[in-house]
Amino acid sequence: MDVQNVFRLFVNVYLIFQHKVLYFFYGVYLLVHFYIASSLHFLCSREPDGTDAFLSDNFRGNLDESKEPLHSPSTPTTYRAGWLTVNGVSSHVLTWGGWVEDPPPKGDTLILFMCGVPGITLFYRNFLETLHTNLGIPVWTICVAGHELPFPSSQEGLPDNPKLYNNVKAQVDHKMAFIKSYVPRNRKIFLIGHSFGAKMVTELLKDEQVSEQMQKCVLLMPTLERFKDTPRAQFWLLMLKVGFIYPLILCIRLLSVLPLSWRRSFSHLYFRTRGLTHVNQCCHDALLQFCQPIVFYNVRTLVWDELKVIQQLDTEILSKYCAKIKVYFAMKDQWAPLTHCETLKTAIPELSVEVLDGKFKHAFTLDTAQEMAEKLAADLVSESFEKY
């Protein structure tokens, strides 16, 4: 092939993919413009005490891992985190009140929490810790399979078969395997799910063993229907269509090779640009885990399957257990809008549904984790649940 033919080939390829190339560079421009503008705003802003935001301890803090996390309660001695292989996938588990493989603690009740996407347990640590402190009941949670990676030194990794974690059914099977492997049959379970975790809870109730052990279900900002039509899903579909996702992937790849201290600084800057000045350190650590390229890819793959699978409201299972289910919606939620709340109340009038105060957002773990845990604990106690 001579030079002229090679040139013609490149021209033809360019003409075929011209719009995608232009969208890609436009996406890069938008991303760079956003972060430059946000960074300038951040550098020129001040703390309430008058100090420059960039020089504040809240921004510089926690770059040294030996420092105590900001605004974080002291960790109870009963807290433990570890890795278990569940349904063929290495999975991160957090527990309060006794490890999953230890002899069962006193009492016969257990709170089992299902994470929402991105499914990283550390986002919920402060929330679950406060819930355990207020109720005194053992609390367990497990990551969304494939969304947390063990340390490289552990020799553990993701299985070769991605069908074990890259779709909704696989995630439900993963949680079912965890329950049947580690939760004693004589234990009463309080099932709590947030966002996609709430959808998994409703799927788990279709299992006879789980439904028998379940004493109460709490669905927080649930994504139970028409997921593709939600405002936030529509936004990301548009971003995918115009090519914005590609520069975002590039930025995540570049971020993943930076030193840890730089990545922590970017984490603080990211939350600052969202107006969140006092984010718990565990959420910063969770964000860094999310920004690993393979984790980001797995999250995208699962969300794509959610868009296809979560369509019709499963009124049958919700009606069957409506006496034991409590649903909470946020006042302004782009993932679980109030239109879904109205649909749910119309379809199942006897179901207990509550719209939360305006301060609670879909990503409540970032700034109102303790308040949400205290609200939830108070509601459980007021509904005559014995405190263990």
Burial, 155: exposed, middle or buried (Cβ in 10 Å; 0-12, 13-18, 19+)?
A: exposed
CA atoms within 13 A on the CB side of 358: 0
Residue bearing tokens 């420059």: 52
**Domains defined for the chain, CATH in brackets:** 40-388 (3.40.50.1820)
The tokens for 250 are 């590039």
Q: Which of 22-26, 34-38, 176-180 has the highest mean pLDDT?
A: 176-180
pLDDT-derived band at 23 (thresholds 50, 70, 90) equals low
The per-residue pLDDT for range 305-362, each reduced to its tens digit, is 999 999 999 999 999 999 999 999 999 999 999 999 999 999 999 999 999 999 999 9
pTM of the model: 0.81
Give yes or no for residue 263 having a pLDDT over 70.
yes
Q: What percent of the chain has pLDDT over 70?
A: 78
Burial, 31: exposed, middle or buried (Cβ in 10 Å; 0-12, 13-18, 19+)?
A: middle
pLDDT of residue 236: 87
pLDDT-derived band at 19 (thresholds 50, 70, 90) equals low
The span from the CA of 45 to the CA of 241, in Å, is 35
The per-residue pLDDT for range 113-129, each reduced to its tens digit, is 999 999 999 999 999 99
